[in-house]
Structure 1
């Protein structure tokens, strides 16, 4: 019997208030059986295998609380534009891909920010035509709320100067950029990936996370139905290296109800949330703001799913045991979502569901206490690029932008992620941004909102577990999942250790 047991020797931060730090952990059958001193644990299982990691730190396993997992997998083979600092640099990267791509094949990529490209206006299709006149090109901004396309892509999609704006979107003129739902006008012209390609992307995204030290992830919809299907297939084949909590787009909830889908705990893949979008994003000037709006005069953003819909569909989601999960970036969007959630709280509490707001980037002081009992699923890594934009576009909201400490003190559960492929799933950047508050301009954004390294660890482990309703993860105690992360130092190099 003891041959099936393993003792891990390491300085261990358990995140269990009853026993915060131990020297050894006994595991068996994929579960923690005991945590304590080396002598006590070794005495409980004298014949167990021993893994000696006394030179490193052991913690509950890292969780990525906000990712578009299969889309991220696809992005790993597309044109990466993170760090591009000029239009000419974007053109160079696209031109390089053109040289290695069969004529007429779509070129896709993303990761740019208008501010980092030195642009005050939306770029035109003509700029991409200069390097790709015959290959259709579609590049997403880092926040995925804007697409930059060339003329070949517009022709393939039948989009022209007279094309009307779709509901919840805008076709920028002169042609070249598509905001929010308008991106679908061109995206629908791209040949759909095959089942095999979805499976390859799912495998690539999940494996990349596991190699970074993650043991679980929350995948946030905004993907084709084939994406979660591919993750489910990996789980069925025993190839999924992560535990995955998946969100369903609210538009598909009716179909899910008809099929009898509900929260399905257990296994490495489970449906857990229903996703809404209250607004757009900062970089695309589509975040929904209270007056006076953006300081450059570009308005107050674009509201998307109305609060009435969030309330109505949210009730149906909760009835199925699923968590309403709402993207809200601007201060007005957060106010409206909190109003909608106030109507849902009694039903959610009765079902043991913790309502979630994704991003919660810019807040009014009077709304912060209203986060008590909610999950604030936030991405500190975005602070680094957003800091300069916040100071120039919304200086009146700077003090409560990325308000991690205030949200924590208000009683919200913090759950950290990256929103990959919007940003790379880099926990080191989350540690750095949340602790130092230093942005890409070298300035500190709202330094009073800084967290400690232990706070960040909780937000990358126990917080996501509580958000998903997993009482057996993000903590090291008897009965918990034996899924850990090994560190050379907290916030440093990490390696997953899963039994």
Structure 2
């Protein structure tokens, strides 16, 4: 039987209403929270709460700060779980280092088996162009190799993988994608990545379940109590999360998105805003307006990239986003659009202006993922929208922004400007693009400092309290959760314990 628990800690609560989400945190001067049956009963002094529930179990965390539980508002959750056991290339500084790590993995992998991994950045490897299959063939000719860039918009494959995918010099580019042909085959951009991805053997149901479990455990160990998982995964990923939920093993609360290509399936199954379990919920429909900065596929207004590499790629057209976004809203699902370049954001904002009346009527907030590079004239159109940002990506992108987009540097990762123009901030990581770390989001948002000490738009800095809000109440508003993101009677008993704000953290869900 449930029984009351009295948590002793320095309690920090949120004080912002969903319809007026000015981010700030305030201490209520409380030293305890009383919970029972998974809900907060009261917040106050130890004396008054002990008198209210004299038999309550005491959890003594008096040296720690208790805040609403952290949410990572942008993950690809099960994919992240798989990467925990794949070839990790985060931070590699040269093609030679990739080759060394790949050779080590190949030596302990049976011939013919796929080697998957990634999380590299071309800029960190000192490349101004694209790598080729020959670089990977040199150390792994007998294993098909598929390595995704950190932003997941570029796939680096060896000759064996290209052969299995049927890709050769005469293969045409797919719509919304590009097969790079210089200095040789091996790099695939945007939708072209699927040409290789589709021939990689599909994991078993047991492997999907293991990856879901690994991701769930990893995020909770980092202090998160919930996440929004952003599609771009096989259907079995969501099925694995739902199975964990059905078994009562899902520790995170999960708000999930469908790819827009599955809208007809969603309609047939009646998935709009539902989940069928206690912690898993369908909530959004995902679109991609463009690519990513590191792959030079983010869609930019002219003049585009300063190195002359063009203006990027438009993936899902504005017309498609408008048509299917309207359908999503009619099903009670939130249109969520990936938009990194300034042109991508402009076009999505135009579409959203047409969708706003229907969204408002449905009580749903339209949402843009990343909103990474903006024009000043577009900022007012963000009022009331969800701006889902990943500040922890800024340090790795700082040099690229400085080099490729000097004319947009002042409004890159523009947290302060978005906040001032009425956007609802929701912070995440985009794991596996970068590890899910609230601490890195705190550091990047407050210092605005990239690798090598390069500062990007220091005027866009936030306070630690504002970052906390964007990791707690902001994501809750985005998901329509009135019972999460603050500590008050009736909300879910899901907290994060800190040694200090932005320091070491751990989840506490009761």
User: So what's the TM-score if we normalise by structure 2?
Assistant: 0.96
Do 1:16 and 1:477's aligned partners in 2 also have CA atoms closer than 8 Å? no
Match of residue 314, structure 2, among 298, 303, 322? 303
**How far did 1:17 drift?**
5.3
Matched position secondary structure for 1:204? helix
**How far did 1:262 drift?**
1.4
The reply to whether residue 478 of structure 1 matches residue 489 of structure 2 is yes
- Tell me, in whole angstroms, the C-alpha distance in 2 between the residues paired with 1:15 and 1:42: 23
The reply to whether residue 289 of structure 1 matches residue 289 of structure 2 is no
1:123 corresponding residue in structure 2: 131
**How far did 1:16 drift?**
2.7
Matched position secondary structure for 1:185? helix
Matched position secondary structure for 2:210? helix
2:234 corresponding residue in structure 1: 224
- Tell me, in whole angstroms, the C-alpha distance in 2 between the residues paired with 1:12 and 1:351: 35
The reply to whether residue 432 of structure 1 matches residue 457 of structure 2 is no
- Tell me, in whole angstroms, the C-alpha distance in 2 between the residues paired with 1:184 and 1:150: 15
Matched position secondary structure for 1:357? strand
1:168 corresponding residue in structure 2: 176
The reply to whether residue 383 of structure 1 matches residue 394 of structure 2 is yes
After TM superposition, the structure 1 = structure 2 runs for residues 200-349 of structure 1, keeping only pairs within 5 Å, are: 200-264=210-274, 267-349=278-360
Do 1:274 and 1:322's aligned partners in 2 also have CA atoms closer than 8 Å? yes
- Tell me, in whole angstroms, the C-alpha distance in 2 between the residues paired with 1:148 and 1:30: 46
2:23 corresponding residue in structure 1: none
Residues 368-409 of structure 1, C-alpha deviation per residue, up to 9 Å, x if partnerless? Answer: 111110100000011001111001001000000000011111
Match of residue 359, structure 1, among 356, 360, 370? 370
**How far did 1:212 drift?**
0.9
The reply to whether residue 406 of structure 1 matches residue 417 of structure 2 is yes
Residues 16-55 of structure 1, C-alpha deviation per residue, up to 9 Å, x if partnerless? Answer: 3597422111101100011112222222212211111110
Gaps of 5+ in 2: 18-25
Residues 111-147 of structure 1, C-alpha deviation per residue, up to 9 Å, x if partnerless? Answer: 0000000001101110000000111101000000000
* Superposition RMSD in Å: 1.1
1:113 corresponding residue in structure 2: 121
After TM superposition, the structure 1 = structure 2 runs for residues 17-166 of structure 1, keeping only pairs within 5 Å, are: 20-21=27-28, 22-166=30-174
- Tell me, in whole angstroms, the C-alpha distance in 1 between the residues paired with 2:270 and 2:413: 38
- Tell me, in whole angstroms, the C-alpha distance in 2 between the residues paired with 1:129 and 1:65: 38
Residues 313-356 of structure 1, C-alpha deviation per residue, up to 9 Å, x if partnerless? Answer: 11111111111100000000000000000011111111110111
Residues 157-183 of structure 1, C-alpha deviation per residue, up to 9 Å, x if partnerless? Answer: 111001000000000002010000001
User: So what's the TM-score if we normalise by structure 1?
Assistant: 0.98
Change (3 A) 1:16 1:36: farther
Deviates more, 1:287-296 or 1:32-41: 32-41
- Tell me, in whole angstroms, the C-alpha distance in 1 between the residues paired with 2:312 and 2:16: 43
Matched position secondary structure for 1:296? coil
- Tell me, in whole angstroms, the C-alpha distance in 1 between the residues paired with 2:152 and 2:321: 21
- Tell me, in whole angstroms, the C-alpha distance in 1 between the residues paired with 2:166 and 2:334: 38
1:456 corresponding residue in structure 2: 467
- Tell me, in whole angstroms, the C-alpha distance in 2 between the residues paired with 1:391 and 1:442: 12
Do 1:16 and 1:476's aligned partners in 2 also have CA atoms closer than 8 Å? no
- Tell me, in whole angstroms, the C-alpha distance in 1 between the residues paired with 2:16 and 2:420: 18
**How far did 1:441 drift?**
2.1
- Tell me, in whole angstroms, the C-alpha distance in 2 between the residues paired with 1:444 and 1:172: 32
Do 1:371 and 1:411's aligned partners in 2 also have CA atoms closer than 8 Å? yes
Do 1:285 and 1:298's aligned partners in 2 also have CA atoms closer than 8 Å? yes
**How far did 1:259 drift?**
1.9
Gaps of 5+ in 1: none
- Tell me, in whole angstroms, the C-alpha distance in 2 between the residues paired with 1:7 and 1:239: 25
Residues 193-231 of structure 1, C-alpha deviation per residue, up to 9 Å, x if partnerless? Answer: 111111111111111101111100100000000000000
- Tell me, in whole angstroms, the C-alpha distance in 2 between the residues paired with 1:322 and 1:336: 21
Matched position secondary structure for 1:4? coil
The reply to whether residue 196 of structure 1 matches residue 206 of structure 2 is yes
1:8 corresponding residue in structure 2: 7
User: May I ask how many residue pairs the two structures share in their alignment?
Assistant: 498
